[in-house]
Amino acid sequence: MTAPIPVTLTVNGTRRTAMVEPRTTLLDLLRDHLALTGTHAGCEHGICGACSVLLEGEPVRSCCLFAPQAEGMSVTTVEGLAPARGELSALQDAFLECHALQCGYCTPGMLVACTDLLARIPRPTEAQVREAIGGNICRCTGYQQIVDAVMLASGQKAAAHG
Amino acid sequence: MAEFRFIGRHRRAVEHRRFVRGQGRYAADIVPAGLLHVAIVASPHPHARIVSVDASAALALPGVQAVVTGEEMNPALEPMLPGVDAPAVMRFPLAQGVVRYAGEWVAAVVAETRALAEDAAELVQVEYEALPFVVDPGEALREGAPLVHPAHGSNVIWHRRFDWGPVEADFAAAAHRLSCRVQWARSSTVPIETFVATAQWSDATGLLDVWASIQMPKFPDQLARALRLPGNAVRVHYDVDVGGSYGVKRGLKHSVLVGWLARHLHRPVRFLEDRLENMRGGDMQGPDRVFDVELAFEADGLVRAMRMKAVDDVGAYAGRSPLQLGKPVGAIVGPYTINAVTYDAWSVMTNKTPQEAVRGFGQAPTNYAIETAMDRVARFLGMDPVALRRRNLIAADAFPYLIPSGTSYDSGDYAAVLDKALAAAGQDALLAERDRLRAQGLLAGIGVSTCLEPSGGNSSFEPLFNPKNTTTTWMDSCLVRVDLNGAVTAVMGTTSSGQAHETLVSTVVGEVLQREPDSIRVIHADSLNALPSNSPVGSRMAIMLGGAAAGAAKRIRAKLLAIAAHQLQAPPDAPRWEDGDAVLGEARIPWARLVEIAHREFHNLPDGMEPGLQEKFVWEVPTGGMIPTEDGRVQMYPCHSFESHVVLASLDPETGKPEIHRYVVGHDCGVMISPDVVHGMTYGGVAHGLGAALMERFAYSDDGQLMAGSFMDYLLPSAQEVPSVAIVDHCTPSPLTEFGQKGSGEAGYLGGPAAIASAINDALAPLGAEINALPMTPAAIWRAIEEGRNR
């Protein structure tokens, strides 16, 4: 154990500082120090993607980064995806509409991966969606309705799934 | 079929509103003030005597509160019981004296942070004396094999041979017989959330509060019993969101451990598994079976009788795992008219991580074995596998249909579902596509399966496998309450792990009361104010919780109609229910007025009616209540969903890599209350089945070490392995349930592995090769191709 050091980040648009041991992961900083529990631990070795967040706009595994590595950077978590309180992003809304989740545990990471995809490719093909979420494991959905949701959010599919 | 207003319609799941915002409340998100954290010291040996434990260096670290061993803790506990009559197979959270598998918990280190607890765990010195061990179930059955539990006297924790019907006569009379051995590998559901348990004890109240990511029948009772506490001293909070389970989240030992620690230390204590702890010492691996199947059949393909021997490796300890050989008794002939069956079931212990309940409770491996044998018969006779199945499927007009093992199938139209799936797949186009792939130099094949999903989870396998257990009810319950302002709240008594029960209950209550489902709140009670529930296992909640919610809502409706009749001075059954109001002729008493009378106007209530507005309903499993016959016949589950999978797969002849080109599931689970939920579970079940068929295996080395303790070596299907899947619905309502619904929580998984394996073996058939063990990894496929080529 080493002495805590300050780490300052811009999280979901707000500047936040926490005192953490240098070995603290970005994931643990978000969950344990900033009470942003939407980001989840799944495997803690970089395979499952449940801990995904956007760091400077790029998707990263927050379980595989030390918090001090993100010093001064901007982080977007699932709690920061909606444009405003009481609203949802088009992607979050499409996840609801298409039943793109069940237990919800992988969902924050999925939303982060798909948000990044749509920022890069506004109208992705199904193969591009599957590639984009290829590093996010979901044990509930079999991915089909997630693909459907991205297609809906990108205006390539009609609503009213069922 | 009845017309429904809300049932069967597209509806956004209630739970998902919080999940897409990152506002789920999972067990790891609950942090009582002063929380302490646990790290585990685990055995590196598959079997060893614990000579000594030296925790002095760990205890010297500032912030370490305790290092606890089985020697210290276990005398204060009752052992956790196996599901069968084997009292010498004792199980405690921490090993005492002996470890029986690599990964077994030896000591628990408790510290102010998890990181500190892990630091300290590394400083605990344990001296072991290695003992002989056994990891192969076949070896474990041999005379003189090392005994996992010497006090039990054998490595067989349970065995029984059942004979149902004239097996010998049918075999003697049949034109042909054929046998095969197939192997279902040890895999599991491996939820992305690991198991988490947090406990907090108060000396002042004498109450243990527990927040755990649990999915387990009778969990609070077993926890209290193990801790030697009265049941009303344990309060399990069911309002935690569980991050997936599909059967396995039975962390009783985790919860006993933190419960005891919280009381011992008088601080809240949490154990949150890391991924290795989950996969190795979490005791949540799945069935691990070798089947020998023999079929007696005629030249036209009619299968008359079956002998099945199943040897299941449950690992070093057992909870309910041996019972996973029991549920398949209720669908032992699959969807076929097989007349007589011998079922010889063996549950064997080895020095491996214990087995836990996995989606389907043993039915998916059994279905895989039956279907593989059916494919063998088709190949033997030179018959189309689809035609063979059509020859043997139970006819739509034969229901209710009694199978040899004593279960009556409620309803179905299996041939229609198979036909629909084949039509959706385009049978001719599928054959053309297979031939096109073959022309490209690939090996390509088509697989078909027709499988049952027993649903409405009952516990009939408990008395079947343990005559001392006389459980014949597995009820579930719901309470519906209408407040003074007319808002409806429903209370359920268990956790949910992704099954959208809040959506289910609010849809059903909305349907009965004709109130908008989105206006109905559904809450999860804690175990001290919950009505009885047996948890969401065995594809039971649409039937059992849905039925209980409907029952409670109907009582509310009946009470309001009685109030209306009294107001209108009409006979009690005169008013009818319409759009949430009571109506009689031109008169309409609106919902709000009826609610007001119930809550405020005793003078307007019929004589003898209780004021207020809440009703409960406790529902027994339909067809439940039966003790098995002496020859082991019993009604297992009440309802029987059906699925038919059609798969086109190809294999790369150079690498063995499989690829799925077309995947169609025909599915009949009766009336779908929430089609989005049913489809989601079916898609997910297919993916899970694909993992079991092609990728997932808890491999062990010969020296008893788990070789797959991370996601680097236990491979889970991603969106790039799981193909696009087409689901074709069919609806044969169940006559046994409120709305005609059946269960669907295991859909996809129960027929998927069989169909995928069938497709791969069809692809290998031109080489004269086949694979009879899962998972069919690229390496296994490559070896089969090479063997075929060299033959």
Within an 8 Å CB–CB cutoff, is residue B660 touching chain A?
A: no
Within an 8 Å CB–CB cutoff, is residue B459 touching chain A?
A: no
- Computed on alpha carbons and rounded to an integer, the radius of gyration of chain B in Å comes to 27
A contacts of B242 (beta carbons < 8 Å): 103
How much is the pLDDT for A162?
A: 42
Residue A161 has pLDDT above 60, yes or no: no
Residue A87 CB-density burial (10 A; 0-12 exposed, 13-18 middle, 19+ buried): exposed
| Best CA proximity match to B211, nearest among B191, B231, B240 | B240
Residue B402 host element (H or E): strand B401-402
Cβ <8 Å between B244 and A40: no
Q: Could you give the percent of chain A with pLDDT greater than 70?
A: 97
Tokens found for residue A135: 């590093």
Query: To the nearest whole angstrom, how far is the Cα of A149 from the nearest Cα of chain B?
Result: 12
Within an 8 Å CB–CB cutoff, is residue A84 touching chain B?
A: no
Within an 8 Å CB–CB cutoff, is residue B271 touching chain A?
A: no
Sign of CA dihedral A146, A150, A153, A158: negative
A155: helix, strand or coil:
coil
Give, to the nearest 10 degrees, the angle between helix B752-764 and helix B363-381.
30
B524: helix, strand or coil:
strand
Give, to the nearest 10 degrees, the angle between helix B427-439 and helix B414-425.
50
Q: Give the ranges where B203-306 is alpha helix by DSSP (H).
A: 219-226, 252-265, 275-276
Cβ <8 Å between B675 and A145: no
Residue B51 CB-density burial (10 A; 0-12 exposed, 13-18 middle, 19+ buried): exposed
State the pairing for strand pair A5-11/A74-76: parallel
Query: To the nearest whole angstrom, how far is the Cα of A141 from the nearest Cα of chain B?
Result: 4
Query: To the nearest whole angstrom, how far is the Cα of B511 from the nearest Cα of chain A?
Result: 18
| Best CA proximity match to B657, nearest among B763, B506, B576 | B763
| Sheet with B443-455, side-by-side order of all strands | B443-455, B639-651, B658-668, B726-730
Q: Closest chain A residue to B27 measured between Cα atoms?
A: A37
Chain B 309-348, CB below 8 Å of chain A: which residues?
A: none
Q: Give the ranges where B84-176 is alpha helix by DSSP (H).
A: 114-121, 137-140, 167-173
A contacts of B192 (beta carbons < 8 Å): 40, 42-43, 48, 50, 105-106, 137-139
At residue B311, φ and ψ (nearest 5 deg) are: -115, 115
Within an 8 Å CB–CB cutoff, is residue A65 touching chain B?
A: no
Q: What's A31's DSSP letter?
A: I
B436-449 residues labelled b (16+ CB within 10 A) or e (exposed): ebeeeebbbbbbbb
Residue B429 host element (H or E): helix B427-439
**How far apart, in Å, are the Cα atoms of B21 and each of A10, A92, A116, B665?**
19, 8, 17, 32
Write the Ramachandran bin of B673: left for phi over 0, alpha for psi from -120 to 50, otherwise beta.
alpha
- Residue positions counted in chain B: 791
Query: To the nearest whole angstrom, how far is the Cα of B716 from the nearest Cα of chain A?
Result: 7
How much is the pLDDT for B2?
A: 62
Q: Could you give the percent of chain A with pLDDT greater than 90?
A: 95
Q: Could you give the percent of chain B with pLDDT greater than 70?
A: 100
Q: Closest chain B residue to A41 measured between Cα atoms?
A: B193
Sign of CA dihedral B97, B99, B100, B104: positive
ipTM: 0.98
Say which residues have a Cβ less than 8 Å from residue B779's Cβ, sequence separation at least 6. Answer: B656
A92-122 residues labelled b (16+ CB within 10 A) or e (exposed): bbbbbbbbbbbbbbbbbbbbbbbbbbbeeee
Q: Closest chain A residue to B688 measured between Cα atoms?
A: A139
| Best CA proximity match to B676, nearest among B16, B191, B215 | B16
At residue B685, φ and ψ (nearest 5 deg) are: -65, -40
B contacts of A150 (beta carbons < 8 Å): none
Q: What's B55's DSSP letter?
A: -
Number of Cβ within a 10 Å radius of residue A77: 24
Say which residues have a Cβ less than 8 Å from residue B772's Cβ, sequence separation at least 6. Answer: B180, B181, B182, B183, B372
Residues B582 and B579: their CA atoms lie apart, in Å, by: 8
| Best CA proximity match to B375, nearest among B452, B447, B299 | B447
Cβ <8 Å between B191 and A139: yes
Q: Do residues B665 and B642 make contact, with C-beta atoms less than 8 angstroms apart?
A: no
One-letter-per-residue 3-state SS of B663-732: EEEEEECECCCCHHHHHHHHHHHHHHHHHHHHHCCCCECCCCCECCCCCCCCCCCCCCCCCCCEEEEECC
Within an 8 Å CB–CB cutoff, is residue B21 touching chain A?
A: yes
Peptide bond into B775 cis (omega under 30): yes
Say which residues have a Cβ less than 8 Å from residue B60's Cβ, sequence separation at least 6. Answer: none
At residue A22, φ and ψ (nearest 5 deg) are: -60, -25
Within an 8 Å CB–CB cutoff, is residue B244 touching chain A?
A: yes
Q: What's B359's DSSP letter?
A: T
Within an 8 Å CB–CB cutoff, is residue A133 touching chain B?
A: yes
Residues B258 and B668: their CA atoms lie apart, in Å, by: 43
B contacts of A45 (beta carbons < 8 Å): 275, 710-712
How much is the pLDDT for A2?
A: 81
Residue with tokens 């507005």: B613
Q: Do residues B629 and B465 make contact, with C-beta atoms less than 8 angstroms apart?
A: no
Say which residues have a Cβ less than 8 Å from residue B397's Cβ, sequence separation at least 6. Answer: none
Tokens found for residue B31: 């942090």
Q: Do residues B190 and B358 make contact, with C-beta atoms less than 8 angstroms apart?
A: no
Please name the amino acid found at residue B428.
Answer: D
Task: Give the residues across from B773 on adjacent strands.
Answer: B183
Within an 8 Å CB–CB cutoff, is residue B497 touching chain A?
A: yes
B127: helix, strand or coil:
strand
| Best CA proximity match to B544, nearest among B626, B474, B614, B481 | B474
Q: Do residues B424 and B728 make contact, with C-beta atoms less than 8 angstroms apart?
A: yes
Cβ <8 Å between A42 and B192: yes
Query: To the nearest whole angstrom, how far is the Cα of B217 from the nearest Cα of chain A?
Result: 19
Query: To the nearest whole angstrom, how far is the Cα of A72 from the nearest Cα of chain B?
Result: 24
pLDDT digits (tens, 9 = 90+) for B125-166: 999 999 999 999 999 999 999 999 999 999 999 999 999 999
Chain A 102-121, CB below 8 Å of chain B: which residues?
A: 102-108, 111
- Write the residue in B12, B26, B275 that is nearest to A97 by C-beta: B12
Write the Ramachandran bin of B45: left for phi over 0, alpha for psi from -120 to 50, otherwise beta.
beta
State the pairing for strand pair A74-76/A52-55: antiparallel
Within an 8 Å CB–CB cutoff, is residue B33 touching chain A?
A: no
Residue A120 host element (H or E): helix A107-120
B642: helix, strand or coil:
strand
Ranges of chain B whose pLDDT falls below 70: 1-2
Q: Do residues B208 and B181 make contact, with C-beta atoms less than 8 angstroms apart?
A: no
Tokens found for residue B354: 């214990």
Cβ <8 Å between A134 and B720: yes
Cβ <8 Å between A104 and B24: yes
Peptide bond into A68 cis (omega under 30): no
Cβ <8 Å between B677 and A161: no
- Write the residue in B20, B29, B116 that is nearest to A107 by C-beta: B20
Q: Closest chain B residue to A35 measured between Cα atoms?
A: B29
Cβ <8 Å between A139 and B22: no
Residue with tokens 């979420």: A133
Say which residues have a Cβ less than 8 Å from residue B143's Cβ, sequence separation at least 6. Answer: none
Q: Do residues A109 and A49 make contact, with C-beta atoms less than 8 angstroms apart?
A: yes
A contacts of B683 (beta carbons < 8 Å): 141-145
B contacts of A151 (beta carbons < 8 Å): none
- Residue positions counted in chain A: 162
Query: To the nearest whole angstrom, how far is the Cα of A59 from the nearest Cα of chain B?
Result: 17
What pTM was computed for the model?
0.97
Number of Cβ within a 10 Å radius of residue B654: 10
B515: helix, strand or coil:
coil
Residue with tokens 């709690």: A79
H helix count then E strand count, chain B: 20, 28
Say which residues have a Cβ less than 8 Å from residue B379's Cβ, sequence separation at least 6. Answer: B765
| Best CA proximity match to B146, nearest among B231, B77, B5, B47 | B47
Task: Give the residues across from B183 on adjacent strands.
Answer: B290, B773
How much is the pLDDT for A160?
A: 55
